[in-house]
Amino acid sequence: MDIGTVNSLSYEDFVDVFGNIVEKCPLVAAAVWSQRPFSNLAQMETAVNDFIDSLTVSGKEGVLRCHPCLAGRELHSGSLTADSREEQRQAGLTSLDPAEAEHLQRLNVQYKQRFGFPFVICARLNDRATIEHRLVERLANEPTQELRLAIEEVKKICRLRLQSLVAWANKL
């Protein structure tokens, strides 16, 4: 799809196409629809990032709570979105042995108890060893620092999902 097609989408179609750029959070796509027309993908990405940045702390935490735990219950039950399933597969999280899966699950529980939302990292830009390392490392962060880092990871995920949906030729 090119940027012209993006700009011509009805509200319903726009939210249908872009409703998962932020995991299970179609509110983001709904909020940026009214900012069309976008001259390019970068402008659309900026609109998404600006909306996320404008959210209150509780709104940002809500965005993070929409994300699944990595290699968690949703992966094993088959209820992940297609985007998340593919991203976790690319990072090697779908092929963990039972001990690795249990260890990651324990870390996810610790993280969620500490911060109140799941650990979010752009799986497409990391492998499972790096993900585990970052999870352990980020457990030591202060809550405000971690909220900021987690939101930056959401933006990375969003950028890659947007690039997958909108033709490369229109991103500049």
CATH code, 20 = 1.10.3330.10
Report pLDDT digits (tens) over 93-124: 999 999 999 999 999 999 999 999 999 999 99
Instruction: Indicate whether 75 and 48 sit together in one domain.
Output: no
Q: How confident is the model at residue 19 (pLDDT cuts 50, 70, 90)?
A: very high
Q: How confident is the model at residue 168 (pLDDT cuts 50, 70, 90)?
A: low
Residues 32 and 108 in one domain: no
> For 15-26, what is the mean pLDDT?
96
Q: How far apart are CA 137 and CA 153, in angstroms?
A: 15
Give residue 73's pLDDT band: very low, low, confident or very high (50, 70, 90).
confident
Supply the residues annotated as catalytic: 67
102 and 37: one domain?
no
Q: Name residue 40's amino acid.
A: N
DSSP string, the chain: --HHHHHH--HHHHHHHHTTSSTT-HHHHHHHHTTPPPSSHHHHHHHHHHHHHHS-HHHHHHHHHTSPPTTSHHHHHT-S-HHHHHHHHHTTGGG--HHHHHHHHHHHHHHHHHHSS-----GGG--HHHHHHHHHHHTTS-HHHHHHHHHHHHHHHHHHHHHHHS-GGG--
- So what's the pLDDT on residue 169? 41
Count of domains for the chain: 2
Q: Are residues 15 and 35 in the same domain?
A: yes
| 100 and 44 in a common domain | no
Give me 88's structure tokens. Answer: 């976790």
Question: 84: domain range?
Answer: 66-154
What percent of the chain has a predicted confidence (pLDDT) above 70? 97
